C-alpha cells in the first residue's frame, strides 16, 4: 500500500514539475517575443535620426532589421497567445481520434458494401466463417460461387446465424423494416437456410456447417472471415443504396464486441438461441433395470 501511495505521489510530482516547466517555457518565450518587439521598435525609431542623405546605409539597415525583428516578435506574441492553443488542441484531438481508431481495430470504412469489399478475394482461401444477417439475398447470389468453393474445401467451417422465423415479434419487426409482410419475411429466412444447407450437402462439399436461429432482429450484419471482420449497418429509409461498412483487420474493441455477440448467439444454454442445423438429436433414454 505504501509503495502504491509512493508511486502515485511520484507520478503526481512528475506531472506538477512538467506543468511548471511548460509554464516557465511559455513565459520565457513570451518575454523574448516582447523584447524582440521592443528592440525592433527601437531600431525603427532610431532610423529616424539617421538621415538617408548623411548615412543611407545605416538608415536602410536600421529600418529593415528593426522591421524584421518587430514583425517576428509581434507574430510570436500572437502565436503564443492565440494560435498556439488552438493548434495544440487540434493536434491532441487528432491524436485522440487516431488512438480510438487504433483501439477499435478499424482498418477501413466504406459505404459500398457490395463492390468495395471485393468479396471474392476476401472469401478465397478462408478457413472459418461466421455470419449474422437477416437473409442477405443479394449478397448470397453475388457470392454463390465463392460460397460453393468454400464448402468444397476439407476442414472449412461456417456458422450462420439467422433471425428465428418462428418468433412472431421478430418477424413482425423484419417485415416492417423491409416493407413486406410477415409471411414473406419467413420465406426469405427459410430460403437462406435451405440454400446454405444445399451448398454444404452437395456431393462435393467437405466443409462443416452450423445454422442457428436467434430471437432478435439484426441491427447490424456481422461477417467474421478468419481474422477479418466486416460490420455493416442497415438503412432506415426505404429502397436500396449504399450502407456504412466497417472493416477490422486486427484485434480491437470492435472485434471483441463481434466475438462476444457470436459467442452468445451460438450458446445452446441461452433461451433465445437454438441450433437448427445439424438438428440436435434428443438424448437416448436408457430404461432403468427393474428392481429385484
DSSP character string of 40-67: HHHHHHHHTTS-TTT-HHHHHHHHHHHH
Does residue 49 sit within a domain? yes
Give the confidence band of 263 by pLDDT, cuts at 50, 70, 90.
Answer: very high
Predicted local distance difference test score (pLDDT) of residue 286: 38
Does residue 94 share a domain with residue 43?
yes
Give the confidence band of 85 by pLDDT, cuts at 50, 70, 90.
Answer: low
Predicted local distance difference test score (pLDDT) of residue 4: 42
Does residue 248 share a domain with residue 128?
yes
Q: Does position 1 have pLDDT exceeding 70, yes or no?
A: no
Q: Does position 16 have pLDDT exceeding 60, yes or no?
A: no
Which of the listed residues 69, 104, 139 is the one where a domain comes to its end?
A: 104
Q: 155: phi > 0 → left, psi -120 to 50 → alpha, else beta; which?
A: left
Does residue 160 share a domain with residue 32?
no
Number of structural domains, the chain? 2
Asked if residue 95 has a cis previous peptide bond (ω within 30° of 0), the answer is no
Least confident of 36-40, 83-87, 120-124: 83-87
> pLDDT for 221-246, tens place per residue?
999 999 899 999 988 777 777 889 99
Cα separation, 252 vs 75, in Å, equals 44
Does residue 142 share a domain with residue 224?
yes
Does residue 222 sit within a domain? yes
Q: What is the pTM of this model?
A: 0.65
Does residue 286 sit within a domain? no
pLDDT > 90 fraction of the chain, expressed in percent and rounded: 45
Predicted local distance difference test score (pLDDT) of residue 185: 95
Predicted local distance difference test score (pLDDT) of residue 236: 75
Does residue 173 sit within a domain? yes
Q: Does position 63 have pLDDT exceeding 50, yes or no?
A: yes
Inter-axis angle of helices 144-151 and 182-200, to 10 degrees? 40
> pLDDT for 172-211, tens place per residue?
999 998 889 999 999 999 999 999 999 998 767 789 999 9
Does residue 33 share a domain with residue 47?
yes
- What is the arithmetic mean of pLDDT over 124-146? 94
Does residue 61 share a domain with residue 38?
yes
Does residue 292 sit within a domain? no
Does residue 288 sit within a domain? no
Which of the listed residues 104, 131, 153 is the one where a domain comes to its end?
A: 104
Determine the structural domain holding residue 165 and report its residue range.
110-277
205 or 264: which carries more pLDDT confidence? 264
Predicted local distance difference test score (pLDDT) of residue 61: 63
Does residue 289 sit within a domain? no
Does residue 163 share a domain with residue 32?
no
Does residue 236 share a domain with residue 93?
no
14 or 42: which carries more pLDDT confidence? 42
- What is the arithmetic mean of pLDDT over 155-166? 96
Which of the listed residues 104, 129, 150 is the one where a domain comes to its end?
A: 104
Does residue 134 share a domain with residue 266?
yes
Give the confidence band of 217 by pLDDT, cuts at 50, 70, 90.
Answer: very high
Give the confidence band of 282 by pLDDT, cuts at 50, 70, 90.
Answer: very low
Predicted local distance difference test score (pLDDT) of residue 243: 87
68 or 50: which carries more pLDDT confidence? 68
Does residue 133 share a domain with residue 59?
no
Does residue 97 share a domain with residue 61?
yes
Predicted local distance difference test score (pLDDT) of residue 24: 57
Cα separation, 217 vs 168, in Å, equals 11
Does residue 120 share a domain with residue 59?
no
Query: How many other β-carbons are positioned within 10 Å of the β-carbon of residue 70?
Result: 19
Q: Does position 127 have pLDDT exceeding 90, yes or no?
A: yes
Does residue 238 sit within a domain? yes
Amino acid at each position: 500500500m505504501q509503495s502504491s501511495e509512493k508511486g502515485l505521489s511520484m507520478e503526481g510530482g512528475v506531472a506538477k514539475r512538467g506543468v511548471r516547466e511548460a509554464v516557465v517555457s511559455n513565459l520565457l518565450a513570451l518575454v523574448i517575443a516582447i523584447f524582440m518587439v521592443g528592440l525592433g521598435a527601437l531600431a525603427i525609431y532610431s532610423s529616424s535620426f539617421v538621415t538617408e542623405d548623411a548615412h543611407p546605409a545605416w538608415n536602410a539597415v536600421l529600418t529593415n532589421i528593426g522591421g524584421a525583428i518587430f514583425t517576428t516578435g509581434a507574430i510570436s506574441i500572437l502565436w503564443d497567445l492565440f494560435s498556439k492553443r488552438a493548434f495544440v488542441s487540434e493536434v491532441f484531438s487528432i491524436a485522440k481520434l487516431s488512438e480510438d481508431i487504433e483501439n477499435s481495430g478499424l482498418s477501413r470504412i466504406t459505404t459500398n458494401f457490395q463492390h468495395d469489399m471485393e468479396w471474392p478475394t476476401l472469401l478465397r482461401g478462408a478457413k472459418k466463417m461466421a455470419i449474422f444477417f437477416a437473409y442477405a439475398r443479394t449478397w448470397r447470389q453475388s457470392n454463390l460461387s465463392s460460397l460453393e468453393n468454400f464448402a468444397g474445401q476439407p476442414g472449412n467451417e461456417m456458422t450462420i446465424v439467422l433471425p428465428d422465423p418462428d418468433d412472431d415479434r421478430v418477424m413482425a419487426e423484419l417485415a416492417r423494416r423491409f416493407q413486406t409482410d410477415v409471411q414473406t419475411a419467413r420465406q426469405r429466412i427459410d430460403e437462406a437456410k435451405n440454400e446454405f444447407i444445399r451448398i454444404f450437402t452437395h456431393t462435393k462439399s467437405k466443409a462443416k456447417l452450423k445454422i442457428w436461429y436467434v430471437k432478435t432482429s439484426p441491427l447490424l450484419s456481422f461477417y467474421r472471415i478468419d481474422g477479418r471482420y466486416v460490420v455493416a449497418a442497415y438503412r432506415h429509409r426505404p429502397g436500396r443504396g449504399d450502407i456504412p461498412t466497417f472493416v477490422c483487420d486486427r484485434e480491437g474493441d470492435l472485434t471483441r464486441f463481434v466475438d462476444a455477440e457470436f459467442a452468445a448467439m451460438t450458446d445452446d444454454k441461452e433461451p433465445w438461441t437454438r441450433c437448427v442445423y445439424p438438428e440436435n438429436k434428443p438424448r437416448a433414454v436408457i430404461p432403468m433395470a427393474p428392481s429385484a
